């Protein structure tokens, strides 16, 4: 038994010696970069209202259109007077950034003496690239005027949005 035990000890020592001389497992390492881009908070300011001016309604329904450039088209049977303007919005943010613009597709105007009218809205552009002084866009619309529309001052509000692309 001694011989067998001795052989076993020699074989064990040989295996241990080989393990110590074997090359270590190959290790690897790498580095990565963390990045961030900071954009200025967007500010959106309404600088003029969408103004259809004064309208004298007729016996039939019609429309008044104000383009995003502020030009008016007065529909058949209506009389339109006064100055019209498109709504104008000023956008401030990071120079060179692209901003998506949009908002409500229509607005309801409520009359001071009753009655309502609806205007579909048109946006001058879907997006703008901000410059050093920001950027702007306009909103025009087409107002539906009913036959013998109730007299009064009509107002309504609509929402617009500006978000970085």
Domains of the chain: residue spans and CATH? 43-164 (2.60.40)
Question: How much is the pTM?
Answer: 0.80
63: its two tokens: 């429309």
Is residue 13's pLDDT more than 70?
no
Q: CB burial class (10 A; 0-12, 13-18, 19+) of residue 120?
A: middle
> What average pLDDT does the chain have?
91
Banded pLDDT at 127 (limits 50, 70, 90)? very high
- Looking only at the bridges linking them, the beta strands covering 98-103 and 127-129 are antiparallel
Three-state secondary structure readout of 54-101: EEECCCCCEEEEECCCCCEEECCCCEEECCCECEEEEEECCCCCEEEE
pLDDT in the model for residue 25: 74
Q: What is the pLDDT of residue 23?
A: 60
Predicted confidence at residue 26, as pLDDT, reads 85
For residue range 102-125, list pLDDT tens digits in order: 999 999 999 999 999 999 999 999
> Quick check: 78 pLDDT over 70?
yes
Segment 124-153 shows an average pLDDT of 97
Least confident of 20-24, 93-97, 136-140: 20-24
């Amino acid at each position: 038994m001694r011989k067998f035990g001795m052989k076993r000890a020699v074989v064990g020592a040989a295996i241990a010696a080989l393990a110590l001389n074997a090359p270590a497992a190959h290790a690897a390492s790498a580095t990565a970069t963390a990045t961030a881009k900071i954009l200025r908070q967007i500010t959106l300011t309404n600088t003029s209202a969408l103004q259809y001016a004064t309208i004298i309604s007729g016996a039939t329904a019609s429309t008044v259109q104000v383009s995003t450039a502020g030009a008016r088209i007065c529909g058949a049977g209506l009389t339109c007077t006064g100055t019209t303007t498109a709504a104008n919005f000023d956008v401030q943010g990071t120079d060179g950034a692209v901003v998506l613009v949009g908002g409500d597709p229509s607005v309801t105007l409520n009359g001071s003496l009753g009655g309502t009218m609806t205007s579909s809205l048109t946006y001058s552009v879907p997006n703008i690239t901000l410059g050093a002084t920001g950027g702007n866009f306009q909103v025009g619309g087409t107002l539906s005027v009913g036959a013998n529309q109730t007299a009064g001052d009509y107002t309504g509000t609509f929402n617009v949005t500006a978000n970085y692309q």
